[in-house]
Homo-oligomer: A and B are copies of this chain.
């Protein structure tokens, strides 16, 4: 099977123009089918402040009301997505920027929750692997913004890690998939204050121990849960590391590798 790289970048990388430019140059140099999924960044928060749209957080999560949905659609699908696409093009990497709504890429539904109303937040039902494959075979690098829609045409704010994970699982039927989570740290750290304390490898047994010792906590837990789920659904290689080292991450020379051992 052909190699496919699915790379997620977080908001902190997007916010720094110089870091993003170098990262996209690296991405463009990868001579393989590839999909880039980006998150948000500070721009959505700044724009909400400028527009006087109050952001409500419940249990650490942003509630997506109608105005917030408008903002994230503008920022994620508009500004960030199109800037990434244009910069990849300039690096001779033909890119196509999509949301889950485009080309029926992702079928989603509005999250229902009896205790918390998250608003216009989407959970993924299905990734259209045939459409993704067709675009990859046309040599396009696909850039996905974390917006989906439901069958009624309602746009939905959708977690970018989940999108990366679901695309990786769906494409593992057709490709040998590597799923790479890039962020502003060198990997999963043994000591949160020491950037050099990267844990090279985390197995399922290690994971339980690291959670019990609270070495791994907070936002890293859903990320790693996603990572293990991907491995269980046919994804061959999952790793987490710094966006500056994306080429070394791909070559398994740095970062934290997640294994199903």
- Residues of A that sit less than 8 Å from B by CB: 47, 50-52, 70, 73-79, 81-83, 85-91, 94-99, 101-104, 131, 134, 138, 140, 147, 149, 151-155
Q: Which residues of B contact A81 (CB under 8 A)?
A: 77-78
Copies of this protein chain in the complex = 2
Q: A73-B82, A87-B153, A134-B138 are in contact. List 11 more A-B contacts (CB 8 A).
A: A50-B51, A74-B79, A76-B78, A78-B78, A82-B147, A86-B154, A88-B153, A89-B149, A89-B151, A95-B103, A131-B138
Closest 9 CB pairs of A and B: A78-B78, A90-B153, A74-B74, A86-B149, A74-B78, A86-B153, A96-B103, A87-B153, A77-B78
Complex interface: chain B residues within 8 A of A76 (CB) = 78
Which residues of chain B have C-beta atoms less than 8 A from A82's C-beta?
A: 73, 77, 99, 101-102, 147, 149, 155
Q: How far is the CB of A20 from chain B (nearest CB, A)?
A: 12
Q: Report the minimum CB–CB distance from A177 to chain B (whole Å).
A: 23
A79-B99 Cα distance, complex, nearest whole Å: 12
CB distance from A179 to the nearest CB of B (A): 24
Instruction: Tell me the minimal C-beta distance from A107 to chain B in angstroms.
Output: 10
- In Å, the complex CA distance between A134 and B137 comes to 12
Q: Which residue of B lies closest to A99 (CB)?
A: B82
| Cβ contacts A to B, 11 pairs, < 8 Å | A47-B51, A73-B82, A74-B74, A77-B81, A86-B101, A89-B104, A90-B149, A95-B102, A97-B98, A97-B101, A103-B140
